[in-house]
Structure formats: structure tokens, C-alpha cells
Structure 1
């Protein structure tokens, strides 16, 4: 058996020291690790961190509201206003918008013209005839420059002479008589007229056919929308309708669902009656007219705007803002999409936002906007 290795006292002491150093190093590393873990799990409430939670925003001028851009349809039913009284073959037709004295169709070589009149023509107009049906003819002759004075309803020799001059200008026989059927009365001109089914070029007419259809003057304003659009429109919504430089406000008076799933909203003026009121005369006299409109879902409110998260409420229900000068009581006039319109502060006032929960970034004082810019920077109106 080999001899045992002898270890000197000095080497034994050195080994013990090394073991103690290793134990101490391991203990120090464990303490540091535990300290680092505890520090990351338990944040300290420092003044800097508390200050970072205070978010400021600047009040500005703007508006809130929501509207849908859609089209309103004006329906004006057309009905027969005259029957043909001229036998012969139709040689020409002309439809669409017509004005006083325009030709709408021709039978043989005889033109049929529209004249603005409330009552239909019912007889030949010749010298010696008196009545209200003479006045529209006289007015036409005056406008054409063939007759002077004012319409008096008396077909005298001056009117006869004017008729002959008018017929000469048209290349017609100068009889001085306007036969029944040559004039068609339309209550309001200009207007978009239609011709009866029998008034077709090449068709032979015997008389009695419906010849001209014109709008009756009755107007219906409707809004036709899809199911998806209908779900967005509340019953109390208003509709702003625009035609050229005219603007009218309408309300929903009723609705109807058709077999295709579309909804038709009937519109009236806020107090009832026709949407266009006393200005209906500016609208085209067409059977159907499309008008630009905006359906106001949330009424537009303008004023001083702030982030909605900046508005706080007291137990008594009053609203206030926290400004750099302290609490300021405000009145909320409208809100939408994270913005509120308030009374009580001026644009440019810095207000505190609750914890920045709405994603509003700190907003230091900003320079004045350039002219024409910044007035609607807080607007949330859609459309």
C-alpha cells in the first residue's frame, strides 16, 4: 500500500481561506440578485413619475357633430294637361324642359306650342272672342314683339293683326285665327314635359289622344336609403337640403320599407308643409329632381373645444376643468369622438387631462396659427 500524502499546515490554512472566500462571493451574488428582483417588481413612487402622469392640452376653437352626405329626391308627379285636337300625322316631337311659346310636337305642318295658363284652351281664338283664354295668347304675342299694351282678354283687330304677323314669322298661312289644338296650357313654365304614348313621329292622329303631360305642382321630398344607412339615421334627425344658393331644413315625417329592403323617408318642413316653403319656384319643374343634402345625426356645435377626458364632474353634477390657475366651472354644450365643446374657458387655455387615458400628449403653449388656419382644428364633424 502506498504511503499517505502528507499536507503541510500552511497549505491546509490556505485551502480553508479559499473555501470561505467562495462562500462569501456566492452569498453576495444571491443578495444582489434578490435586490434587483425586488426593485423591478415594486416600483418606487417618485416625484418624477407622479409628474409624468399629469397631461396638459390646449383648448382651441372648433366644433363637434356628425352628418351623412346623401341625396334627397324631389318628386313632382306629371299628369295629362291637354288632349290632341289636330288630325293628321305627327312629323316632329320635342320633349324635356320647355318655355313659353316652345313647340312640343308638330302635326303635318302645324306646330303645337306650350303657353303658361291656368285653364285649358277649349275653342278657336279669333276676332270677336272675349274671355280669360284670350289673355295667354295676347301675353305670348306681346313677348314676341307683335302686340303692345297689356293683355285684356278681348280679341280685337289689334290682336288679329298681331296673330297674322306671328304666323308670318313661323312660315304659316296668315289666317289671323289660332285653331283649337295649336296651344297647350301649362300652369307653370319653364317646365319639363312629357308627351302622351300616342304622340310619336309617324303616328296618325284622329284627335282626343293625351298629348302633353306636365308636373302638377305637387311636390314630395323623399330620402331613399339602404338598410345600413337607415340604421344610422335616428327618427329625430334633421336634413339640410341645398339647391344652388338656397338651403332648407327638413325633418322626417314618416318612413316606408319597400320590397327591396330600401327605406323611404318622407320629409317636410319643421313646422309641416313643403320643404322649400315660399322658395319652391326656384326648383326645376321636372318629374324628378335630385338634391344634395346632409342628414344631421348629431347637430353641429361650435365653440371652445377641449379633450373630453379633461372634463370632470362634481358630486352635484356640475362640470369643471383643471387649468393652470385652478378649477374652472364649465358648461358642456356638445361632445363627440373624444372632444367636448364647453363654455367657461377661452381658446388657448391649458387644461389638465385625466391621467392621459385618452392618448392626449402634453401640449405646451403653441404659436399663433397662420391666418385662415386652425379655426376648425378640433372639428369632429364627419361627412
Structure 2
């Protein structure tokens, strides 16, 4: 009714309120449905068995070896000492150090050759008819070897020896005097030998007599390993050294060591029984004053057998070791290890066997897929490997 101030009938107001409530309820229902659909797609179902199996890592045992060696060179030192003095005067015109044998020339003064003869006693006089002694015997052995004298060396310079000396001098193209002047022969205890010459025996040098002329090995041998500071740190005191020469191989151990002012370390080697490294085959080595020999310093002894990764070896509190295979736990004995690989011995364990690495679930992988679950079961952080450590 006009001007009454009434804005609507009671029925119309009730209908409007009902429609508003209905719209609010519908909107709330739509929002709930949308949020439900979003949460379900954002959180996918987990495969507990798949999650567990993804943590199991397997490796395969193989045939191999472990060990560690350091390739170095061993030096054989054979000290030499003077065994003869020069007995000639004049200018040195030629020298021939090195390996020599009976009758070889080691140096020449003017046009007079100086030859080596095997003998313990030095030549100290002129040798002529009537002389007797070990020096004459040495001369006779030389004449016999070169075919100028028959019979045995008796140490008596008689007519037969005099004729042999003249024949020897003729063969050399020298004056046939039948005597051997002092200085033309030098005695070396053992021949053949590698000899050195004295500091004065140099081509062009004038000699007056009395100089140390020939140095020969003493028969003593010293095997040494000279290494840098860095290499010395890698070599334990108990290391062994495998030394090779041609087809021969010897084992040495460290007998002593010394460090020089430059920081280098010299290891002196001996055989494990304390004898010479090369004993009893030392005669195969050259007589040079210094010989370089191939060698390997064995830091970790070589062991061969069935190998597995070090991470596959578990240890218990009692220090016993085992690996996990497809068939379960297998007790093993560790025979050697190095660089992440372990040589193991165990019943039924051989090349091709699958082994589980430490960090897995501690049991063989399931043969059939495990049933799905809404969520994985809680896992104790200690797990089956709480008391296990990596081998090696």
C-alpha cells in the first residue's frame, strides 16, 4: 500500500532467505569436492616393497687378486780397491777399463801395453830366467792359455819359459828379449772382472811410476734402494723387495736405512735369512762397480682368489665376517684386501655369486613383488647392519 513503509510480504522474505542458504551450502559442497580431489592426486600411494628393494644393491663375486707394489730400481754396489801400481814411465796413450780377462790390455804407456794376469800376489820385479815364485807361476799360466807354453805352471822360470816369452813377444810384434820388465803385467785376484783405472791413468797424462793404476772389485756386494722422501713414506719397514736380473729373481728385506742431507733415504737390503740378496746365484751378476736392477717393492702382498667389493663384507662384534648372498648369510675368511676389493674364502662362494653390499635391507631381494601398502612401515635407524662395518 503506497506510503505504508512495508518493503515486502513475509512469504517473499522467507523464500529469499532460503535461496541464500541453499547457495551457500552448494558453494561449500563444491569447495569440499575440489579440495578432496586435489589432495588425493598430490599424495600418490607408495609401494613399500619397491621402496625397500630400491635400497638393496647387489654385486657379483669374481676371480681376481689384490696387492700393491711400487716399481723402483735396486742398485748393486760392488766396491773396488787398488790392486796394482803403475811401474812404467811415460805418457798414457790408451786406456781400456771395464770387463777384462786373462792377458787383456788395460792401458798403454807410450807403446808398451800393460796387461792383466790372474793372481793374488802383485808383480814386483822383472821376470827373467832363474826367477821363481807365484809371480812366475802367474806368467806361466798366461803363456799356457795363449798357447806358447806346454805343461803345468810350476813357478820356475827356466829355458822353456824363456822360449815361451819370446814367442809371446813375437806374436805381439815386440822385441823378443825373453824377459818381462816390471810394470808390463798387473795381477788381479779374479778374472774375468770389471776393473777401473786410477785417477792418474788418463790419456795424455805423464806417469812417473807408483801411481794407483788398476782397481778391481773386492768381491763384496751391497744391494741398496735409494728413494725420495715421498716414496720412503709409502714403504713400511716390513716390506719385501722382489729383485730381477735376466731370468733370476731374488727377495730382499730391509736390513737398515739411512737418510742423507738432501732428504733421500737409502735402504740397505739383505736376503730374509740375513745373507746376500743374490745368494747362491751371485756369480750370474756382472762385475761392474754399480749395477741397476729391476725391482718391485711389495707394500701389500699379492693374494689371489674370489674377490668381492669391500662394501659387501659385514663384520660382527666378535670380529667374524660374512657376506649376504641370494641364499642368505655365508661365513667368510678375509685372505687379503686393497683398493676397495677383498679376497674372501667361504663355503659355496665363488665367481658369479651375487653378494649384497652393506647399506641394503640385510636380506636377499624378494623373489615376488610385495603387496602394496598405503605407506611404508617405520624403519629402525639401527637396522640389521648396525654392528657391521665395511671390510678391508
TM-score of the superposition, structure 1-length normalised? 0.80
Establish whether residue 352 from structure 1 lines up as the match of residue 355 from structure 2: yes
Q: Report deviation, 1:292.
A: 1.2
Gapped runs of 5+ residues in structure 2? 1-6, 366-392
The gaps in structure 1 that reach 5 residues or longer are 363-383
Query: What is the CA–CA distance in structure 1 between the aligned matches of 2:182 and 2:18, rounded to whole Å?
Result: 143
Say if 1:206 and 1:328 are closer, same or farther in 2 by CA, change over 3 A. Answer: same
Quote the Cα distance in structure 2 between the aligned partners of 1:24 and 1:149.
Answer: 134
Q: CA deviation at 1:313?
A: 2.8
Question: What is the alpha-carbon distance in structure 1 between the residues aligned to residue 317 and residue 340 of structure 2?
Answer: 22
TM-aligned CA deviation for residue 77 of structure 1: 2.1
Is residue 102 of structure 1 aligned with residue 107 of structure 2? no
- In structure 2, the CA distance between the partners of 1:317 and 1:355, relative to structure 1 (3 Å rule), is closer
Per-residue deviation at 1:15? 8.7
The 5 A counterparts of 1:22-41 are 23-35=28-40, 38-39=43-44
User: Residue by residue, what CA displacement relative to the aligned partner does 1:23-77 show, whole Å, maximum 9, x if unpaired?
Assistant: 44443443344445555xxx84622333343333332222111111111112222
SS of residue paired to 1:134 = helix
Moved more, 19-28 or 44-53: 19-28
Q: Is 1:242 the equivalent of 2:244?
A: yes
SS at match of 2:301: strand
In the other structure, the counterpart of 2:301 is 299
Comparing 220-229 with 87-96, which one deviates more in the overlay?
87-96
CA-based RMSD: 3.1
- Note the C-alpha offset of 1:208: 0.8
The alignment of Structure 1 onto Structure 2 pairs a total of residues equal to: 350
CA deviation after TM superposition for structure 1 residue 162, in Å? 2.8
Q: Which residue does 1:376 correspond to in 2?
A: none
Residues 191-223 of structure 1, C-alpha deviations (whole Å, 9 max, x = no match): 332222222233332211111122222222111
Please, what TM-score do these two structures have when normalized by structure 2? 0.78
Q: Relative to 1, partners in 2 of residues 1:45 and 1:151: Cα closer, same or farther, differing over 3 Å?
A: farther
Cα distance change, pair 341–18 in 1 and its aligned pair in 2 (3 A): same
Match of 1:76 among 58, 75, 78: 78
CA distance in 1, matches of 2:279, 2:34: 89
Change (3 A) 1:174 1:51: same
2:284 corresponds, among 282, 285, 288, to 282
The separation in 1 between residues aligned to 2:200 and 2:299, in whole angstroms, is 48
Give the direction of change, closer, same or farther, for the CA distance of 1:26–1:127 in structure 2 (3 Å limit).
Answer: farther
Could you tell me how far apart the structure 2 residues matched to 1:220 and 1:21 are?
104
Q: CA deviation at 1:148?
A: 4.0
Structure 1 contact 56–350 (Cα < 8 Å) conserved: no
Q: Give the whole-Å Cα distance in 1 for the aligned partners of 2:168 and 2:38.
A: 113
Counterpart CA distance in 2 for 1:31 and 1:150 is: 121
Tell me the secondary structure at the aligned position of residue 190 of structure 2. Answer: coil
Q: Deviations over 1:105-150 (max 9, x none)?
A: 1112210012232332223333443333334333333332333444
Give the match's secondary structure for 2:311: helix
Q: 1:59 to 1:133 in 2, by over 3 A?
A: farther
Query: Within 2, Cα distance between the matches of 1:130 and 1:237?
Result: 56
1-structure distance, mates of 2:255, 2:230:
20
Secondary structure, counterpart of 2:280 in structure 1: helix
CA distance in 1, matches of 2:149, 2:19: 141
SS in 2 for 1:125: coil
Q: 1:56 — aligned with what?
A: 58
Which of 201, 208, 213 pairs up with 1:206? 208
Residue 258 of structure 1 corresponds to 260
Question: What is the rounded CA distance, in whole Å, between the counterparts of 1:11 and 1:184 in structure 2?
Answer: 141
Q: Give the direction of change, closer, same or farther, for the CA distance of 1:81–1:18 in structure 2 (3 Å limit).
A: farther
Summarize deviations over 1:307-343 as a string: whole Å, max 9, x none.
2222233443332333334433222111111211122
Alpha-carbon distance in structure 1 between the residues aligned to 2:23 and 2:356: 61
1:128 and 1:103 map into 2 onto residues whose CA distance is 26
Partner of 2:343: 341
Q: Does 1:228 align with 2:233?
A: no
